[in-house]
Structure 1
């Protein structure tokens, strides 16, 4: 499949009230990162990509001693929260900055779980490593008794949670990078993958739920069929190719060039990221949360990546990446690319593991 045809037409989509963003079909691999530079205090100067890799490694090694990580873009360093003084040396030896905090990740996860009890549609919540607390966000549809319910719930968490409001409505986006089409809907391919030797691609689950058959042109012949689709809970779908089409390991940058994708990775708070989608093309922003639960009108999706990247209906399923590293599939959010907004992404690593896929 050669998803190098640029369809910029915006289509109205009727699919159970979901406005979805789905972007290009692109495979991924780990980008070659330049060696980190070392500051005089021993802390490494890192790109956001390098910080994401180091964050995953340190979190695994430190176990319960770690209480979250984030990337400080201004000073280009990775900050690792720790609750045990003995972990400081290990963090600093790896070239990151250690920050002693009050609350363990287990305590914060308990607080996050408590939010499940009072969250309403239009609410997102996650552990915020910068403040060492749980961040609860409501969109502008949460008003009256529902808003009071959330406010009271946050207040009951004894200072371990904060509340903020954003404009717009949290909802899935349907349409997409290099576009894919079903009857009455447009989405975007995320990344090309292989399952048991069979070529396939990942996209959003709320797109996969709409139709079993997808094409690379409006009204065109089938190029793939859905073999697995999950939404809500998560938001991913696997579509196996049924036609002999090109499936490059790259992301359309909508300027005649493409970003080669060489691997998949986990996002880190503070990381600079880029999204490609068939409605709005390419836009960048910053990761503001990981392992975020967001309650759409259709149900809650857990484990998402929250960002400041804008998106609009039709970008659903599209690729979120940092350099050559694939990070996520566009799920939903609020706002648009004229005024900005909040967008959530299904982590690619989770989707790959769930469907048993690898990058080509």
Structure 2
């Protein structure tokens, strides 16, 4: 069976967790940031090499580091810092330094304030190293008194946060890359994995509960049983295969071919990614935020998600988010569709693997 999947949480992978990528062609200018490179020329780096440099600089800079991302156009590691001494350290190591206003501790404090004062259905927030802010998004259901409340909280955070509106409605994409079916509806398979030497697959936690049986066709014979499901908080589930169902480590590209999956990776802002799901098949885009908190309503709040501009629709839930041969995320939910676009959130694969004690295979 080929793979599809959908969204959430945090197992850290040293290099990946340190790097965030800005899309090719994106430039950032702000009165609150300095880009002075003096006589130093940033090294030309691959994403992998930038991740290694980020880990090294994080150890050297400590609290003076205020976020990092990869500038895909310049092929350079950009490191946010709080003073010129730290900037010199970055430049001497081959990175591109930006002196910014907000520290990571201040951005974390802003997220805490949002959690305490503005936990409103239809909202999300994620840390954006490019703008050096927490980006808060309100969907179309947030209006009236709730929107006024959210606006007041964001305004109270000053330069640490920015409020944006979404034309869609945040919701889990229940009902979507090969289709998997249960009594509760249709979702998508994320990635095939191995746990304790036996084949399993991972998908979204909101797709079903522990003990539910899953098939690869509507009304078909069961191919596996869900042995663990976590939602809300997280959004991932583990299904153990039964019988002799094929379970190659690959993702269905819906063009007669498949993408082999060899490893798990961390998302970075600006990273180019693809999503495969049983409703809308394959679409691409980029990562726009990390460590996102999304409030789907009815008390269903999920934290630590990857935010992207890749479209998805109901049935794509649990499907694969990948970059080349690396498994990145599981489709959780979002707003919009593949006609109008929108925001889509994904559960990090690394956290799911760590929680389940499984590995890509």
TM beyond 0.5: yes
Aligned to 1:3: 2
- In structure 2, how many angstroms separate the alpha carbons of the residues matched to 1:327 and 1:90? 31
Aligned to 2:230: 230
Q: Contact (CA 8 Å) 1:182, 1:211: kept in 2 or not?
A: no
Unaligned runs of 5+ in 2: 8-14, 16-38
**CA drift at 1:88:** 3.5
Q: Contact (CA 8 Å) 1:232, 1:300: kept in 2 or not?
A: yes
- In structure 2, how many angstroms separate the alpha carbons of the residues matched to 1:204 and 1:60? 34
Aligned to 1:43: 42
* SS of residue in 1 equivalent to 2:223: strand
* SS of residue in 2 equivalent to 1:159: helix
Aligned to 1:271: 271
Aligned to 1:259: 259
Aligned pair count? 329
- In structure 2, how many angstroms separate the alpha carbons of the residues matched to 1:60 and 1:324? 29
Deviations 1:308-343 (A, max 9, x none): 000000110111111111110000000000111100
Q: Contact (CA 8 Å) 1:276, 1:319: kept in 2 or not?
A: yes
Q: Contact (CA 8 Å) 1:71, 1:269: kept in 2 or not?
A: yes
**CA drift at 1:187:** 0.7
Aligned to 1:132: 132
**CA drift at 1:155:** 1.3
Deviations 1:103-144 (A, max 9, x none): 211111011111012131110112221111211110111010
- In structure 1, how many angstroms separate the alpha carbons of the residues matched to 2:256 and 2:50? 29
Aligned to 2:70: 71
Structure 1 residues 297, 80: CA separation in 2 closer, same or farther (over 3 Å shift)? same
Mean alpha-carbon deviation: is it higher for 64-73 or for 284-293? 64-73
- In structure 1, how many angstroms separate the alpha carbons of the residues matched to 2:89 and 2:333? 38
Aligned to 1:26: none
- In structure 1, how many angstroms separate the alpha carbons of the residues matched to 2:311 and 2:222? 30
* SS of residue in 2 equivalent to 1:75: coil
Aligned to 1:122: 122
Deviations 1:171-199 (A, max 9, x none): 00024111111014111111111111121
CA RMSD of the aligned region, Å?
2.4
- In structure 1, how many angstroms separate the alpha carbons of the residues matched to 2:214 and 2:59? 39
Structure 1 residues 126, 181: CA separation in 2 closer, same or farther (over 3 Å shift)? same
Mean alpha-carbon deviation: is it higher for 57-66 or for 149-158? 57-66
- In structure 2, how many angstroms separate the alpha carbons of the residues matched to 1:265 and 1:60? 21
Q: Contact (CA 8 Å) 2:287, 2:306: kept in 1 or not?
A: yes
- In structure 2, how many angstroms separate the alpha carbons of the residues matched to 1:151 and 1:223? 48
For residues 165-314 of structure 1, the aligned pairs below 5 Å read 165-209=165-209, 212-298=212-298, 299-314=300-315
- In structure 2, how many angstroms separate the alpha carbons of the residues matched to 1:302 and 1:357? 21
Aligned to 1:103: 102
Indicate yes or no: 2:342 matched with 1:318. Answer: no
Structure 1 residues 208, 112: CA separation in 2 closer, same or farther (over 3 Å shift)? same
Deviations 1:16-49 (A, max 9, x none): xxxxx759xxxxxx9xxxxxxxxx9643444556
Aligned to 1:156: 156
**CA drift at 1:215:** 0.7
Structure 1 residues 191, 57: CA separation in 2 closer, same or farther (over 3 Å shift)? farther
| TM-score, normalised via structure 1 length | 0.84
Aligned to 1:27: none
Mean alpha-carbon deviation: is it higher for 181-190 or for 312-321? 181-190
* SS of residue in 2 equivalent to 1:222: coil
| TM-score, normalised via structure 2 length | 0.84
Unaligned runs of 5+ in 1: 7-20, 24-29, 31-39
* SS of residue in 2 equivalent to 1:283: strand
Aligned to 1:113: 112
Mean alpha-carbon deviation: is it higher for 52-61 or for 94-103? 52-61
Structure 1 residues 46, 281: CA separation in 2 closer, same or farther (over 3 Å shift)? farther
